[in-house]
Amino acid sequence: MNKNDFAITPPMGWNSYDYYDTTVTEQDVKANADYMAAHLKEHGWEYVVVDIEWYAHNAGSRRDVYQYIPFEEVEMDEYSRLLPDPARFPSAAGGNGFKPLADYVHSMGLKFGIHIMRGIPRNAAHRHTKILGANVTANEIANPYSISRWNPDMYGVDPSKEGAQEYYDSIFALYAEWGVDYVKCDDICNTNMYPHDPYSARGEIEMLHKAILKTERPIVLSLSPGPALIEQAWHYETYANMWRITDDFWDKWELLLNMFERCELWQNHVSKGCFPDCDMLPLGWLGKGFGHEWYTNFTEDEQITMMTLWCIFRSPLMLGCELTKLDEKTTRLITNDKVLRLLKESEGARQVERDASHAVWFSRDTKEKAYYLAMFNFTGEKQELTVTMDKLGIENIAAMEELWSGNIIPVTGNEIKAKTASHGAVLIKIELSGF
């Protein structure tokens, strides 16, 4: 198997974190999967991902004090492998794990994913539980000095220890039995709690990759959180399908503005099966599991800017909102097939220019005689942006369409001009003659 065949184009789906945090239930997942199948699947949305602490018995119950309760009881089998909490995932009872839920998702033509933390449960290490396929116990492979700075559930696994690879082999064998198609592994892309070695988990990334190949199931591997280290680009590209180029991304303009610099840094590392990840799209209703629900703080124009950048850059698209509460405007935004086409049928995206007031990105269609031009307005005022065909290296324009509005842009002279809203963007498809 070749991991680059697991996700030929950037994955598109829904992840439970931005709305539910640690509190998502089986019923919630099914409701969002139902909505995706009915309304979004035809536009390419297909992954349904259960995010963090699906194994924790009392997750979210002490949110005023802890996001992740230290040394909380977890559901776990005799081989140190975490299992879904049956109180929140009733179909998992009796050793079923996530298989019934995965089967439900698959029955609608969708794909099923889960979140895991890097390492082995601290509860397993302290109880000296077994490792399947090895004559060692959890404490013998655990590195008690390698702990996430924000989630205390796990110890890192020491790759040099006997039984380390067997542990990762065993959990992914279980995930394959369940029918998992996508694994988001956390606290692994950048272990920046260790300033002397922010890529201390490189060995665990390699073990994850080997474990997936042994399953002979095409499980997409997503590494989180970032920011990913550009000097390790070759390593991410060798062993993973996606890697976060940012820390958690939320609905703040300054975070979106900063993403232009990150995308410029990573623009040459997007390829088949390899996708630098701008993180989830904070659209619609968010935050219920965090103790208060809110509608995205992004303006409509900022939402267009975000979607335009993510699509021309070809980042994976993961919605974090409650899908059943999607409004008409958000639905139109995420089902614009002409824009979403860039994920599957474009390549070579590059930032042409950027300063304090604007940015310009450019890419080409892989099947049509066409290019894509994205122009972004960073200012607090409306702005007309201009780019010359010479700068883009093109000529003989036959037609131009702004893909968000559907407006036809006249072809005149050597310049392409477009009016942009404050914090807004335009995305223009440029069709050529005499290609």
SS (HEC) of 232-246: HHHHHHHHCCEEECC
pLDDT beyond 90 at 339: yes
Distance CA 17, CA 377 (A): 30
**Mean pLDDT of the region 182-208:** 91
> What is residue 194's predicted lDDT score, i.e. its pLDDT?
72
pLDDT band for position 157 (cuts 50, 70, 90)? very high
Question: At a CB cut-off of 8 Å and minimum separation 6, what does 431 contact?
Answer: 368, 369, 370, 397, 398, 399, 400, 401
Instruction: Give me the pLDDT at residue 316, please.
Output: 98
Residues 73-101 have a mean pLDDT of: 97
Give the per-residue pLDDT at 116: 98
Going by C-alpha positions, the residue among 171, 249, 230 that lies closest to residue 204 is: 171
CATH topology of domain 351-432: Immunoglobulin-like (2.60.40)
Cα–Cα distance between 204 and 331 in angstroms, integer? 38
Quick: pLDDT tens for 356-404: 999 999 999 999 999 999 999 999 999 999 999 999 999 889 999 999 9
d(CA 377, CA 422): 6
Count Cβ neighbours within 10 Å for each residue of 126-165 and write b for 16 or more, e otherwise: eeebbbbebebbbbbbbbeebbbeebbbbbbbbbeeebbb
- What mean pLDDT do residues 416-431 have? 97
What mean pLDDT value characterizes the chain? 96
- In total, the chain counts a number of residues equal to 435
pLDDT at 435 over 70: no
Q: Which residues pair with 85 in a beta bridge?
A: none
pLDDT digits (tens, 9 = 90+) for 15-57: 999 999 999 999 999 999 999 999 999 999 999 999 999 999 9
Determine what percent of the chain is predicted with pLDDT higher than 90.
91
Task: Write down the domain spans for the chain.
Answer: 3-335, 351-432
pLDDT computed for residue 64 by the predictor: 78
Superfamily of segment(s) 3-335: Aldolase class I (3.20.20.70)
Helix, strand or coil for residue 95?
A: helix
Please tell me the predicted confidence (pLDDT) of residue 24: 98
| pLDDT, position 411 | 85
The torsion angles phi and psi of 301, rounded to 5 degrees, stand at -70, -35
